[in-house]
Each structure stands twice: as C-alpha cells, then as structure tokens.
Amino acid sequence: MASEKDTQGATYDCENRAEESDQGQLLPPLPPTDNGREAWKYLIACFVVEALLWGFPVSFGVFQDYYSRQPEFEGDSNIPVIGTVATSLYFLGAPVAAPIVKRFRRFQRHMVVIGSIICVLSVLIASFVNSIPALIATQGALYGLGFLMLYMPLLFMLNEWFIKRRGFAYGVLYAGGGFSGVGLPFLLEWLLSSYGHKTTLRIVCIAQFVLVAPSLFFLRPRLPSSHHNNLHALDLRFLQNPLFWVFTVSNICQGLAYYFPPLYLPSYASDMGMSGTIGAMILAANNLATIFGQIGFGHLTDRCSNIHILVCISTLGASLSAFLLWGFCHHLATLVIFSIIWGITAGAYVVFWPKFGTMLSEDPQPVYSLMALGKGIGNIVTGPISAVLLTRSLSLGSYGLNKYEPAILFVGSLMLISSLAIVGWPIQRLMARRTDL
C-alpha cells in the first residue's frame, strides 16, 4: 500500500502536466526534478526565506524579555501573545490556505511575493507603534498572515521540484529556521540593548528586504502555469483511512510536548545558577542539533519505506531523553546533552508530514495542512498548560529541580504516547492484505 501511494504522489506533477497538454498548450521541456540545478536553486532560496522570515518570529523570546523590561510595556500580560500569534497563524491557517492555493495555482508565485512584502512591511509598521495591542496587530497578526500567504505556495512548488528526495528537501527547508536560531537571538539581543526595539525592527526590516528579495527570483514553479483555475474537488478520502488518525494523534501529542524544553531551557539553566548567556548558548545548541535532525531524518524518509519506525525512533528518543536526562539535569554538561538530543529527535518530526501526505493521498497538501494545525494547537496551549504545571517551589537536588518535575513528566509521557504511532505499521499491512484479496 505504501509503495503504491508513494508512486501516486510522485506522479502528481506528471498528471498536472498532462492536464496542460489536454488543453492544447505546447509545453517546453521541463527542468529535471530532485538533482537538477534549478531544483537546487529553488531549495536554497527556500532555505534563505525560512531562515530570515520564519527565524524572526521564532526568536521572539528575545523581544519578549526586552518588552517586559520597558517602562511603557512593563506588567502587560499580553506581551507573549505577540509571538504566539505570529507563529500560530501559519499552523492554524494552513487547512484554509491549502485549498485556496490549489484553487489558484497559477498565482502561487504572486502569493509568495505579496506575502514576503507583507512580512517586511509589518516589521516596519511595528517600529512606529507604541502599545502592545498595536504590536500584536503588526509584529504578530499581520506578520503571521504574510508568512501564511507566502509559505503554503512555497510548499506546493517544492513538491513540484522534489519527488524522490522530497523528505531531504523538506529537511533542508526546515533547517533554515534552526540555522537562524543559532545566531539570530544573540544578534537581536545585542541590537535591542544597543539601539532599542524601534531601531532594531527597522534594521530587521531592511535586512529582510535586502536578503529575501534576490531569493524571490528563484522561487518559481517547475510546472507551466495554467490559464484556467484548478477546479478539481478537494480529496478528503484520507479521512476514512485509520492511518490518518494514528498519525494525527501522534502529531498532536508531539506538538503538545515539543515546545516545552526550548521554551524553558534558559529558565532551567538560570534556576541552576547559570548566566543568561549560558542559557542562550544551550538554546543555540538545541537549534543547531535540530538542523542535523531534520536533514538526517528527512533523508531517511526518502530511503526508508517504513515511516512508522522513524516516527517511533524520533518520539521515543525524545521521551527517554526527557525522563532520563532532563529530569536528572543538575550540571551544565547533562543539560547540553539533553538539549542536543531533543533537537535531533523531537525537532525532526515535521519532516514526516510530507511522507504522511504521500502515503494517504495523491495530493499531500491537505494532509500536511492538518498536521500543521495539530502542531499549531500545541503552540498555542503550551503557555496556559505551563502556567498550571510550573507552580512548585525550587529544590536544586530534586528530580527536575522539583519545580519542573510535572512539566518533564508531562512532556515525556506525551512523547511516549506519540511513539505509539508504531501501531500504524500492522494496520498498514492489514489494509494492504485486504486490498490484495
């Protein structure tokens, strides 16, 4: 079953090309997929966009710390909402954006350009406002909408350029966010302390424009644009497939657990008596490890036909690292090791989404968008859940410093439940046998 569905997913672009031929258009030779020069240009451009435009909102913790110390914003409990809105709109809006992009595929490059412009302008506008609600509207909502507009067509076009090496391509794409997470927070912290948030936002705006604009030239679809809208009905038959629900439960549990360690590693280090610089370096190590995890597991999804084993390795490894390493972290070395293992294992999960899509449907984007929705839910509820879990007093000699024990048990247990996606393996084999009968 898996190989058959993968083949269908791999030929999706060929079917689109056939549609163009049926309309009587003369098609020039298409550039090669996967290893062609144009494909690599597209992938590198995607990496740059991911690093610059996604790396900025995921580094909001630096801004959050700065805003909370400013007299005009001090005591405002809505400061974290800025970053949550900016990062969550993409995840939550993906199921809505995916069918729209599919419906108007010939405008997907325009969407990327317009979305990029909105992101850059939102940062510029944010530099002129003076209240948290205005920052939520600009640095948060407007930026998030711009990124949603550019990112979904970016993924549609990526699926055209990479077929056999799609997992690797997605790994490289996502690694852009981890790459920026290694150094961008340090740069933003220095800019904020030296020039304040208004000047920093304007510098970010200029840098994004100067560095992203050349990349947009290479972000073009591989397949010819149709002069007719894509009127194919959205295929939701995968909702009847038990594997979809296995993957969905695994994905939601993983999303609920994933954000806790990156969010609280600096605080954990601080409670152990370490400086803020050490905490930032631990977080940078986590982001660096995520790069290797995403590219490595992405490559494995192209080579390994059994995605269930890879999902289990990723989530079970994350679960064990939380239970056995994070809980017993009383020294810097242990905390760094946990940070690296968490980045490699938990950080790689998103590269499985494209494989889920090709296994379950000829058009992988609806499946992908629903997986993004599940992760978005985790992104939103992490804050409220942490407020309930992190209420204990600090005790340096205890498991999880006592204060973090409930959070560690919560994270480890959810990752353990997520690893039960391995049950999809026998389900898939049973369904394949029934199909053969």
pLDDT of residue 233: 65
Give residue 378's pLDDT.
Answer: 85
Q: Could you give the count of Cα atoms lying within 13 Å of 415 in the half-sphere of its Cβ?
A: 27
CA-closest candidate to residue 367, choices 351, 376, 355: 355
Alpha helices in 241-275 (DSSP H): 242-258, 260-271
List the CATH code of the domain at 231-437. Answer: 1.20.1250.20
Asked whether the beta carbons of 171 and 296 are under 8 A apart, the reply is yes
CA–CA dist 135, 82 (Å, integer): 7
- The full set of domain ranges for the chain reads 1-10+34-220, 231-437
Tens-place pLDDT, residues 168-210: 999 999 999 889 988 888 899 899 989 999 999 999 999 999 9
pLDDT at residue 45, as a whole number: 95
According to the model, what pLDDT value does residue 232 have?
Answer: 61
The predicted structure's pLDDT at residue 111: 95
SS3 call for 231: coil
- The pLDDT, as a whole number, for residue 8 is 41
| Fold matches, 1-10+34-220 and 231-437 | yes
**What confidence score (pLDDT) does residue 25 get?**
53
**Packing angle of the helix pair 108-126, 143-161 (nearest 10 deg):** 150
The structure tokens listed for 159 are 């699926």
How many CB atoms are located within 10 Å of the residue 173 CB?
Answer: 26
Q: Give residue 294's pLDDT.
A: 94
User: What are the tens digits of pLDDT across the range 79-98?
Assistant: 888 988 898 899 999 999 98
CATH code for the part of the protein at 1-10+34-220: 1.20.1250.20
Per-residue pLDDT tens over the stretch 276-310:
788 888 888 999 999 999 999 999 999 988 899 99
Write out residues in the chain with pLDDT < 70, as ranges: 1-28, 225-233, 436-437
